Amino acid sequence: MQKSKLKQQASGYYHHSPISCWILGITSGVLIAAVLGFDLLIPFIAFLTIPFLVIPIYFSATIQHVMLKTDAQITVTSSFRTFILYFKRDFFGTFSIIFNGLKSVILFLILESTISMVASYLLLVINPNFQASVESLQQLIYSYEFTYEDVINQLNANNYLLLNFAAICFIPSLFISLIFFIYNVSRYSMMVYYKMQMRRTDSRFAKLVYQFSLRGRRMEMVRNYLSLQWPLYVLLVLGFAGGSVGGYFLYHDLLKMSAMGLVGGALLAAFFLPFYFSNQQAFYDMYAGLYNQVTREVTASIIGNLQSDIEFSEQEKERLEETLSDVDGPLNDEEGEDNKKDPGGS
């Protein structure tokens, strides 16, 4: 019943402006794919393009989809304004990019180390040329007199033996960690909706409310989230795999393989984005009452502590008290009242 109600609400958001949803979703997906494609020209540039271009594009699309509820038109001007809005103080840091990025890097290192140990052991047993190839690559690197082309040639020697080994270790580890990163960013985007409702709330307070809201409901929220958004991750995996295989045959270059995988994943995922943003909105609405309730509890607790703490100014206390007045409005309308009665959806 809970999931059925959630899907019904998501469908209602989509059918309110289906053409605009497709324009917004496909355009965002193609733009993200194009930005990720720069990694084909400049290796590792994704470390800059993802936080400073891809995430703001995603943020802009999220804001504009909310605007569709008011029958607003999607224009180049509105896209640019919402893109820039991400870098303003009210929203910058909403997705905890550094924190989520570090978690993904740690996951990548663990996965790659584990796969490398298993794969190297098997190859040492199966292929007698493997150890000699590894030693040749080590000698090349330790000589400090090599070019990128020299490394590629060494990887491609012996019927691409080392390239295949590197691809087996690197590509799955990279894409699993990226999917983990995408999942976390997608979940943290709930704070975008929250901050649009609570306009006086800063990012730190929004994160605090979000974390408190997960207590006792984490698995329920994960199940409800995945019941809506699972096609996104299927398309990402298929796109990553297809792009990487294409990159393998086109370039025989590990970095270009991963870049092609990024582009392929973004392009395939673009076909689900028209539904994805409607699902996100419905998922937030399902728990809006819970977020409002937690906001009141956390704010009341903080204000109580502040009353005995002379280090905080009266202006800061007033700002927290104003947050409570922000909550009253949404809870008094019809939608808010339903969420208050049943924040989990029954």
**pLDDT class for 313, splitting at 50, 70, 90?**
low
One-character DSSP codes across 146-182: --HHHHHHHHHHHHHHHHHHHHHHHHHHHHHHHHHHH
CA distances, 256 to each of 115, 152, 172, 230, 260 (Å): 21, 11, 14, 27, 6
Rounded mean pLDDT of 325-339? 47
Rounded mean pLDDT of 189-197? 90
Q: What is the pLDDT at residue 70? A: 82
- With a cut of 90, say whether residue 266 has pLDDT above it: yes
Lowest pLDDT segment from 111-115, 180-184, 216-220: 216-220
pTM of the prediction? Answer: 0.85
**pLDDT class for 127, splitting at 50, 70, 90?**
confident
Residues 6+ apart with CB under 8 A from 55: 86, 95, 97, 185
Q: What is the pLDDT at residue 322? A: 65
Q: What percent of the chain is modeled with pLDDT above 90?
A: 59
Strands (E), the chain: none
Q: How far apart are CA 248 and CA 191, in angstroms?
A: 39
- With a cut of 80, say whether residue 337 has pLDDT above it: no
- With a cut of 70, say whether residue 310 has pLDDT above it: no
Q: What is the pLDDT at residue 90? A: 81
Q: What is the pLDDT at residue 316? A: 62
One-character DSSP codes across 201-254: --HHHHHHHHHHHTTTTHHHHHHHHHHHHHHHHHHHHHHHHHHHHHHHHHH--H
Rounded mean pLDDT of 178-193? 95
Specify the residue for token string 């704010």. 299
Q: What is the pLDDT at residue 245? A: 96
- From 185, 202, 209, 177, select the one nearest 59 (Cα to Cα): 185
Q: pLDDT tens digits for 63-109?
A: 999 998 887 888 899 999 999 999 988 888 889 899 999 999 999 99
End-to-end CA distance of the chain: 6
**pLDDT class for 342, splitting at 50, 70, 90?**
very low
Q: pLDDT tens digits for 30-71?
A: 999 999 999 999 999 999 999 999 999 999 999 999 998 887
Written as one letter, the residue type at 32 is: I
Q: pLDDT tens digits for 162-182?
A: 999 999 999 999 999 999 999
For 245, left (φ over 0), alpha (ψ -120 to 50), or beta? alpha
Rounded mean pLDDT of 122-126? 90
Q: What is the pLDDT at residue 109? A: 96
Lowest pLDDT segment from 65-79, 146-160, 290-304, 312-326: 312-326
**pLDDT class for 149, splitting at 50, 70, 90?**
confident
- With a cut of 70, say whether residue 344 has pLDDT above it: no
Mean of per-residue pLDDT scores for the chain? 86
Exposure of 34 in the CB half-sphere (CA atoms within 13 A) = 7
Q: How far apart are CA 184 and CA 196, in angstroms?
A: 20
